[in-house]
Structure 1
């Protein structure tokens, strides 16, 4: 078994070392600067040097692409959605109607369904399972309404996570990969010429027929 070997680099470069005491490998990667001005140095660990090297290289790639999750508060889906509602999209940023739709989607469906997940651990499959559950719900207005609800939930989580990505609380938006529910629009049959004539004739017999 290799002895404990530490290779810390003062210039902020990545380092990998083996700890005999812990019987595992550690890696450190500087990915930026924290809000307090100190270096944001991320730690990874694994049983083998190869495993840790892969994790270090992954962090280095994300650093180069500007996709490293911001350090600090660990958000859950619930805490992020509530913050988003209360502080980012509250009126007058969006209209009252738009906010009401977001609020219902968050309170009734997203928080009870996926709120406990850590924001950075949310997967497209979690969203797709939620959409399917909503689609199976029966409402007094029929299945089309359930599909419309699932679609609104998808639009809401997609919008909220887009902001999380822009603010670097999240690396990628899983809602962009999730299969979005479709809302089928019923085809409206146009009136026939005879039906239009009948409507006009009936209207002529009433007061304010022009209206």
Structure 2
């Protein structure tokens, strides 16, 4: 299952053991209580219809891990069993909808959010809803359903922040987000990522208003490599 590199690194720092190329095959229980999990080794061969590498079980490689708790995390996918015939379903088991109107292949039926894009950002789902509402209104009024693509002009111009030579040397790079110490964060459920202090936050705001500095700096770093 794909994972963000930073999250993997954080997990390793917290003492999590990652077992690679294995798949669960059986939950072991005794008198109604969890005792362990049987795993089997797999080998990646070929590609499945959705484009992912396909695991193949290696017979005779079963082994057992003793457990106190088990938290299944086996990906997410929409449950489309309630849909009648007529909807076009993608290879990833999501409903296909026109990205310009959010209307499906069934006239008058619109879809958006995770059921269309798969697990993604809440802001994208909100955008889908706003776009779908616009074209729902047009559909009900018998209006033109041709997608419109427009650019929204900024309402105000913000002058670039003029950095001093010292600031150019000290704040051109993005500050690292402070984190809870490992020994502390493994004992609580509070946010691992902390906030920038006032100085770092102000410097980041200055840097944000000078995107050109960012690109020039990255180009210089690339040339050094």
Name the TM tier (shorter chain).
under 0.3
Higher helix share: 1
TM-score, L = length of structure 1: 0.23
TM-score, L = length of structure 2: 0.22
Looking at both structures, which has the greater relative contact order when contacts are Cα pairs under 8 Å and sequence separation is at least 6? Answer: 1
